[in-house]
Amino acid sequence: MSLPTQLVDSLGRIHTNLRISVTDRCNIRCFYCMPNENIQFRPRAEILTFEEIERFTRLAARLGVNKLRLTGGEPLVRADLDQLIAKLVVVPGIKDVALTTNGLLLAQQAEGLKRAGLQRLNISLDGLKEETFQRIARRSGLQRVLDGIAEAQRVGFEKIRLNAVAIRGITDDEIVPLGEFARQQNLELRFIEFMPLDAEGNWETSQVLSGDVIRGRLESAFGNLVPAERPDPSQPAMDYQFADGRGRIGFINPVSQPFCGACNRLRITAEGQIRNCLFSTDEWDARALLRSSASDDEIARHLVECVQAKKPGHGIDSDEFVKPERAMYQIGG
Ligand code: SAM
Ligand code: SF4
């Protein structure tokens, strides 16, 4: 059987976007992602090597993947990440390599990442008060994140985007200050609804601060938000511009307004399991093949099978919803 040139699922969704988790480790413990203690990290021998990640990326690119995002856990705790980036940016077919980070180690690494060819950076920032940071991360460090953002700007990263998870009862009064900060710093800001992927299983619908509620609060403070163009229909965010033209803001509303119908994403976990959805309960083992005598074509076929098995949607709002066994840090957000 010859290989297709595109990763198309049974609903016709073409998958061009691969999120690569490079570690399940992290230097903080956000309650919406990780447990606070007694964490069983994967043994290092199970984690894909840079060479294995590069090989998998090359064969995914042959199947039409053109955008990569490195994530984790916290990707910057993986030693020499810039060396992996340098390998990935030159893979034929890859047009865009981005990174999502909590920013704590960014001040030290921003220059090397830029030099390695990293194109885009998303930095997670849920609020501007150390108290909020500690309630969420259960560790201290807001100033280090702010220093990381400043350094990333200094070394010339363009299009830095801030990601904020909004949680009712915790970040309500951070929304407007974050909007102001993003406008002042000329950074794009995206609010993400809290999804049921926390490790401790405490997620409740009542904690989800929906994108519409957040938008209302921002409009009260800054005036109307004007819908922005959507150059890429598969992008999960609904983007807006402030009426005065200063700044852009987006909302990723997986809970209140699922966007599964346009999803073009695939994921590979740090230990090499391919997933066709954040909420998938099935995985396809790429590591076993990468560490066997399997050919590139055989591994590619495995990826094709994974895509073909993709379900129409995550079904968070349905009674039959089954929370995946893995929490966010074990998948790669
Ligand atoms: N450690 C990096 C960071 O925090 O940016 C990268 C990995 S983290 C899992 C990726 C993104 O997922 C972050 O922006 C984080 O805030 C978000 N996230 C984690 N758990 C989430 C949840 N349960 N619901 C919504 N977003 C979540
Ligand atoms: Fe770490 Fe990112 Fe998860 Fe927070 S969201 S615990 S920074 S991996």
**For ligand 2, atom 3: residue with the closest CA:** 33
Domain that holds residue 162: 7-331
- Count: domains in the chain: 1
Give the residue from 223, 227, 228 showing the smallest Cα distance to 243. 223
Distance of CA 253 to the CA centre of its chain: 14
Give the residue from 39, 32, 118, 45 showing the smallest Cα distance to 75. 118
- Residue 91 sits at φ, ψ, to 5 deg, of -65, 125
CB proximity list for 293: less than 8 A, separation 6 or greater = none
Does residue 85 sit within a domain? yes
pLDDT above 70 covers what percent of the chain? 100
Query: What distance in angstroms lies between residue 243's CA and the mean position of ligand 2's atoms?
Result: 33
Q: Tens digits of per-residue pLDDT, 211-259?
A: 999 999 999 999 999 999 877 877 888 999 998 888 899 999 888 888 8
Tokens 């976990």 correspond to what residue? 269
Does residue 216 sit within a domain? yes
d(CA 174, CA 154): 25
Query: What distance in angstroms lies between residue 326's CA and the mean position of ligand 1's atoms?
Result: 14
Does 23 contact ligand 1 (Cβ within 6 A)? no
Does residue 2 sit within a domain? no
**For ligand 2, atom 7: residue with the closest CA:** 102
d(CA 172, CA 71): 26
pLDDT at 254: 87
Does residue 268 sit within a domain? yes
Query: Can you tell me whether residue 61 is helix, strand or coil?
Result: helix
d(CA 123, CA 161): 6
Does residue 1 sit within a domain? no
pTM for this predicted structure = 0.96
CATH number at residue 327: 3.20.20.70
Does 102 contact ligand 2 (Cβ within 6 A)? yes
Residues in the chain with pLDDT values less than 50 = none
Does 329 contact ligand 2 (Cβ within 6 A)? yes
